[in-house]
Amino acid sequence: MKMKAAQAMVQILVKEGITNAFGIPGAAINPVYQYLKDAPIDHFTMRHEEACVHAADGYYRAKHEPALAICSAGPGATNFVTGLYTAFIDSMPVFCVVGQANTTQLTQEPFQCVDMPAIAGTVTKKAWCVMKPEDLPGILNEAFYVMREGRPGPVLIEFPLNVQNAELDFDIEQYVPRQIPVPAPDPEKIRQAVCMLKESKNPVIIMGGGCFLSECTDKVVALAEKLQTPVITTYMAKGGIPEDHPLNAGHAGIQVGQPIGNRIFLDSDLVLAIGNRFSDRHTGDLKTYIGQRKFIHINIAPAQIGLVFEPTLGIVSDASLAVDALLREVEAQNVGPINPERAKVLPELRKALERKTDYPDSPMMPHRVFQEVNQAFDDDTYYTAGCGITQIWGGQLQKINKPCKYLPSGGAGTLGYEIPAAFGVKVAKPEHQAVTVVGDFGLTFMGEEIAVATAFKKPIIVVVVNNAYLGLIRQNQKGYGFEYAVEMPYNQDGTIDYVKLGEAYGCVAERVFSPEELKAALVRAKASTIASGRCYLIDAICIKTQLCDMGGSIANIKSWAPEE
C-alpha cells in the first residue's frame, strides 16, 4: 500500500518494540511527528537534545528495552553527540532519529544542514542517511539488528525532509525484525578455563557490566559460590552481588576502587574476567595490575580480547552462555571449593577495610551524605551518576544490593547525564524511586530536565553535594602544584541559590547543613515525591576542600579522608 516514508518509519518503530520516545519536535522532523502523534508510543518532550539520548539511555539501563531519541536537524542533531558517546562507550542500545534538509540541498549549505552520519560515525555502531524512501525499510531493519547484535550500542538515522514526505509501497505485515544471534563459547576453551581455575591457588572473579546486559549476575554468583571464589565488580557492575554476600570483594580500581577490592585483586594469581573491558580507571598502572597473574577474559566482542593486554585465555561469548558452560564444566571436572580458608576471612576483611562515613561535621563531609542516602532508600531504588569527585565518592561509598540499580556514565564520565537519565529510569520504572547524587557544578549540566520530570509527574530526587568547587579538577591541579579557576564560593554563599533553582524547575527544595538535617530531608523527599508527583532537590552543604581517595596504581591508593 502507498504511504509516506515518515508513516512507514513509525510503523516499523512500533513493530521493533519501541514504546517510549524522548525528543524535541522541529521543522525538519515534523512529518515523523505527524504519525508519532497517534502511535502507541509515549513521547516525552525534553528541554535539550543531549538529554533526549541520556533519557533513552537511562530507560534502557533500567528496563533493558530500547527507546527512541528523536530531534530536528542542525544544532539539535549535533547536540545528540555527547549522549551518543555516553551510550556507545557503555554499550547501551539507543535508537536515534534526526531530521535533515531536503536531499536536493545537501551540497548547498542550507539552513541547519550538517552531515550527521559523518559526525556520529565514531560514537555509534553505525549511522545512515536515508536518501530514497524505498530504502527505508531495509535500513531500519539493519539498524535495529546492528543496535542489538553482539556488543550493543546506539545507532542513528538521518532522515531528509523530502524523503520523509515521499511515498513508497509498504506493508508492515511484510516487515520482519531480524533475529539476534547470541554467540556461545568454544567448549574447548571453557575446558581450559576450568583447568586453569583448578590449578590456581587464589583465583578471583571480575564481574563486568556485560553481566548486566546478558542478565547473568545470579549465575556468576552461583559460580563463585561453587568455587568459593571472591567476586570483584567493576564500576559498571556495582550491585551485581549483594553488599553483605560473603564473597563480595567490592570494586578494584584507582578511583572508584575500594580497599577490599584492590587487596583481594593484588593477592590473586588467576583472574576470571566476565563481560568487562579492563578500562584504565579499573586497571591503573598495567605493570602492577598484570603482575604475574594469569587472565581469562570473556567478552562478547572479539575486538575487546587483547585490546588492553593479551590475556592468557580469551573466550568470545555472551556472558550468560559462558557462565552456563563454566558451571557445567566445573560440575563435570568435579571442581570443589578453591582455597575456602581465604573465602572465610573475606567478610571480616571487608569490614576492617571499609571506608569511614560517620563523620558528624557541619558543613558535612561528603562521605556522610552517602551514608545518609544509603540508609534512606530501599534496595529497589535506582541511582544515576555522572562524573567528578561526587561520582567517585558514589562509586566508593554507595551500597547497592541488586543489579541494574546503580546506573552511572562509566566510560564517558558525562556531566549532564545524571538528571535526564534518572528521568528515563523513572519512565521505565515509575513504581520505584529514582535518585541522583550530583555535585553543585554537575547540577548545572542538563539541570533543566528536572522541569521535564516534574511536568510529566515522573518525580526524581536530586541530592546536591555542594562543595563550592570543581572538586576533582582541583585535586588534579594539586598534583601539578597549582589551583586555578576551580573555586566557586558563590555556590554556597547565597549568590547562586540552588533551592530557588529547584523551585523554578518545579521541585520542592531545601538546603541542609548537618547529617541530622539531611536525614530528615530525605524522609520528606520520599514522602513528597509520592504524594505530589513533584521532584525534590536537597542542597547539601559540604566541606569545600575534601579530597577523594585515588592513585595511579591499585597498589598505591592515597587516602585523604581523616580517620577521626
Residues 6 or more apart whose CB falls under 8 angstroms from that of 218 comprise: none
Residues 6 or more apart whose CB falls under 8 angstroms from that of 243 comprise: 399, 400, 401
Which three cell numbers, joined as nine digits, stand for 282?
579499573
- Give the DSSP H or E segment for 499: helix 498-504
Taking the alpha carbons at both ends of the chain, their separation in whole angstroms is 75
Per the listing, cell 520482519 goes with 176
Backbone angles phi, psi at 509, to 5 degrees: -145, 150
Backbone angles phi, psi at 50, to 5 degrees: -55, -40
Amino acid 525 reads A
Alpha-carbon distance 126 to 143, whole Å?
A: 8
* pLDDT computed for residue 110 by the predictor: 87
Alpha-carbon distance 532 to 414, whole Å?
A: 30
State the sign of the Cα–Cα–Cα–Cα dihedral 31, 35, 38, 42.
Answer: negative
Give strand pairing partners of 24: none
Alpha-carbon distance 325 to 341, whole Å?
A: 26
- Give the residue ranges of DSSP H helices in 429-486: 449-455, 471-480
509 touches 502 (CB < 8 A): yes
506 touches 326 (CB < 8 A): no
Give strand pairing partners of 155: 95, 126
Q: Which CATH code, of 3.40.50.970, 3.40.50.360, 3.40.980.10, 3.40.50.150, is assigned to 366-548?
A: 3.40.50.970
What does the buried/exposed string (b/e) look like for 456-478 if buried means 16 or more CB atoms within 10 Å of the residue's CB? bebbbbbbbbbbbbbbbbbbeee
Per the listing, cell 534496595 goes with 379
Q: From first to last of its 564 residues, what are the pLDDT tens digits of the chain? A: 899 999 999 999 999 999 999 999 999 999 999 999 999 999 999 999 999 999 999 999 999 999 999 999 999 999 999 999 999 999 999 999 999 999 998 898 888 899 999 999 999 999 999 999 999 999 999 999 999 999 999 999 999 999 999 999 999 999 999 999 999 999 999 999 999 999 999 999 999 999 999 999 999 999 999 999 999 999 999 999 999 999 999 999 999 999 999 999 999 999 999 999 999 999 999 999 999 999 999 999 999 999 999 999 999 999 999 999 999 999 999 998 999 999 999 999 999 999 999 999 999 999 999 999 999 999 999 999 999 999 999 999 999 999 999 999 999 999 999 999 999 999 999 999 999 999 999 999 999 999 999 999 999 999 999 999 999 999 999 999 999 999 999 999 999 999 999 999 999 999 999 999 999 999 999 999 999 999 999 999 999 999 999 999 999 999 998 754
Alpha-carbon distance 261 to 266, whole Å?
A: 9
| CATH class as words, domain 187-353 | alpha beta
Which three cell numbers, joined as nine digits, stand for 440?
553543585
Give the torsion through C-alpha atoms of 510, 516, 520, 523, to 10 deg.
110
* pLDDT computed for residue 528 by the predictor: 97
364 touches 404 (CB < 8 A): no
* pLDDT computed for residue 173 by the predictor: 97
Q: Counting every residue, how long is the chain?
A: 564
Please state at what angle helix 319-332 crosses helix 217-227, rounded to 10 degrees: 20
Q: How far is CA 353 from CA 31, 83, 207, 346, in A?
A: 59, 37, 21, 10
* pLDDT computed for residue 99 by the predictor: 98
What are the residue boundaries of the structural domains of the chain, listed by start?
A: 2-174, 187-353, 366-548
From the list 229, 255, 253, 259, the residue with the least C-alpha distance to 241 is 229
A 10 A CB-CB count for 42 gives 12
Q: Do domains 2-174 and 366-548 have the same CATH topology?
A: yes
Alpha-carbon distance 363 to 335, whole Å?
A: 53
Q: How far is CA 37 from CA 33, 59, 161, in A?
A: 6, 21, 18
Q: Which CATH superfamily is domain 2-174 in?
A: Thiamin diphosphate (ThDP)-binding fold, Pyr/PP domains (3.40.50.970)
DSSP state of 181: P
* pLDDT computed for residue 563 by the predictor: 56
Phi-psi region of 548 (alpha: psi -120 to 50; beta: other; left: phi over 0): beta
State the sign of the Cα–Cα–Cα–Cα dihedral 304, 222, 260, 398.
Answer: positive
Alpha-carbon distance 235 to 541, whole Å?
A: 26
Kindly tell me the burial class for residue 510, based on how many C-beta atoms sit within 10 Å of its own C-beta (0-12, 13-18, 19 or more): buried
Alpha-carbon distance 259 to 269, whole Å?
A: 18
